Structure 1
Amino acid sequence: MFRILMKALLGSLLRVLFRPQVEGAEHIPAEGPVILAGNHLAFSDSLFLTLVVKRPVYFIGKSEYVSGRGLKGRLKAGFFRGVGMIPVDRDGAHGGVAALNTGLRLLQEGKVFGIHPEGTRSPDGRLYRGRTGLARLALSTGAPVVPAALIDTDRIQPAGKKLPRILKVGVRFGKPLDFSRYEGMERDRYVLRAVTDEVMHEVMLLSGQEYVDIYATKAKAAA
């Protein structure tokens, strides 16, 4: 009930303030496991994905978001859990495995799992190489992958800005991608790379971003 209330209130607020233009929402299957794979421009990306999709969407978030103490900490934790965030310690030695296992469990339960294959926010608005955990989840569960593109969310709250700007944003969804032809090949690294690159190509077409064939973390380190 809290989740439904949060989505109703926040959804109404975001529609009034940011007037999100949603395209292709009909491509999201009405039932069964689905992976939403989107670009990553801003902190609010997962929030917009959650609020514009009719079905509940779950995504991975840092465990520190729900570990605060006191009233402020409890309110913050309630907010993130209410919008579908599953807290996972991604900084530990087994953080990546824990995140994948969480996604696997959600998909096996027939839920919608949102993921940003770039792994971190784009440092300059371009689209970067995707991590293959996305492909591993798709091949292990048989879930279709719906590519998604967030448009102009990075302009709402650029790095270093505390207060958001009121601007129109967009969310575009592409047709579901079926990778059943690779069934049983989730341990083949070449197949995993091919699947991930195909998804990122569709995201690029939807977003109109320039594609860079390196990981965003490497670009940030170099900068």
Structure 2
Amino acid sequence: MDPERLIYPLMKHVVMGPAMRLAFLPSVSGLRHVPRMGPVILAANHLGFLDSFVLPLMVPRRVHFLGKHEYFTGAGLKGRATATFFRSVGAIAVDRSGGRAAFDALDTSAAVLESGGVFAIHPEGTRSPDGRLYRGRTGVARLAMRTGAPVVPVAIEGTDKVQPRGQAVPRPGRIGLRIGAPMDFRGRDRGVPRGRAAREITDEIMEAIQGLSGQEYVDDYAPRPAEPR
């Protein structure tokens, strides 16, 4: 058996899950909307670094998400430990440089869903700089159309307060997770240009997320943080 499959329940149920509940007293509603079996896309807003860990630890299925390639390629004992940790919590390495990066990410995400798994995505593409909800990128819609997997909208709350941008260590505070009803987009691209269908579907998903989060909506893409020099 893959040793990382043994590490995952240990991390979720014994180490990180209890620690997160103690530190952040998470409020979770709507877990009944997450299908118990079969492929599902969790589409969530993106407020803080902790978001990618909140979903895997609070949802009662193994959740996969894309992680920067750099998390998996560090040298030495620390590098190996970091890579094992990220894989154990469901992260999948993706090299986001180069022209094929978006296609590779889509293929990787689709493979998770086609095997009956759960895949989490932040349609905004990057963390909100100011707590507002920004326009979604269409990768989530293209993934739903390609695989037929239902999309479950999710609102994450409070992660930007417990770990503001630039703060290395989170502080105790309250976080929340609100999960909405599944959205089925099968057949939405029949007789419609795929690009237009992808935009319409993405906008519907973002509207559902906003309904759960109550955030102010910005009809523009969130600015990506400047790369460190």
TM-score range, shorter chain: over 0.9
Deviation at 1:186, TM superposition (A): 8.5
2:89 pairs, out of 58, 68, 83, with: 83
Deviation at 1:94, TM superposition (A): 1.2
Deviation at 1:184, TM superposition (A): 4.7
Instruction: State the SS of the aligned residue for 1:22.
Output: strand
Runs of 4+ in 1 over 6 A off after TM superposition: 218-221
User: Please, what is the CA RMSD of the aligned residues?
Assistant: 1.7
CA offset digits 1:111-136 (Å, max 9, x no partner): 00000000011111100000111001
Could you state the TM-score of these two structures normalised by the residue count of structure 2? 0.92
2:122 pairs, out of 109, 116, 122, with: 116
Matched, 1:4 2:19: no
1:162 pairs, out of 164, 168, 173, with: 168
Identity of counterpart residues, as a percentage? 52
CA offset digits 1:55-94 (Å, max 9, x no partner): 1000001010111011111111111111000000012221
CA offset digits 1:23-65 (Å, max 9, x no partner): 1011000001000000000111010000001110000010101
Unaligned runs of 5+ in 2: 1-5
Deviation at 1:164, TM superposition (A): 1.3
2:201 maps to amino acid: V
Could you state the TM-score of these two structures normalised by the residue count of structure 1? 0.95
Matched, 1:149 2:129: no
Partner of 2:3: none
Partner of 2:25: 19
Unaligned runs of 5+ in 1: none
Contact 1:135 1:186 in 2 (8 A): no
Deviation at 1:187, TM superposition (A): 5.6
Deviation at 1:163, TM superposition (A): 2.3
Deviation at 1:220, TM superposition (A): 7.7
Partner of 2:205: 199
Partner of 1:93: 99
CA offset digits 1:143-173 (Å, max 9, x no partner): 0000001001101111222221100100110
Contact 2:45 2:155 in 1 (8 A): yes
Contact 2:73 2:83 in 1 (8 A): yes
Contact 2:189 2:197 in 1 (8 A): no
Stretch of structure 1 that moved more, 210-219 or 33-42: 210-219
Stretch of structure 1 that moved more, 187-196 or 128-137: 187-196
Matched, 1:42 2:80: no
Count of aligned residue pairs for this structure pair: 221
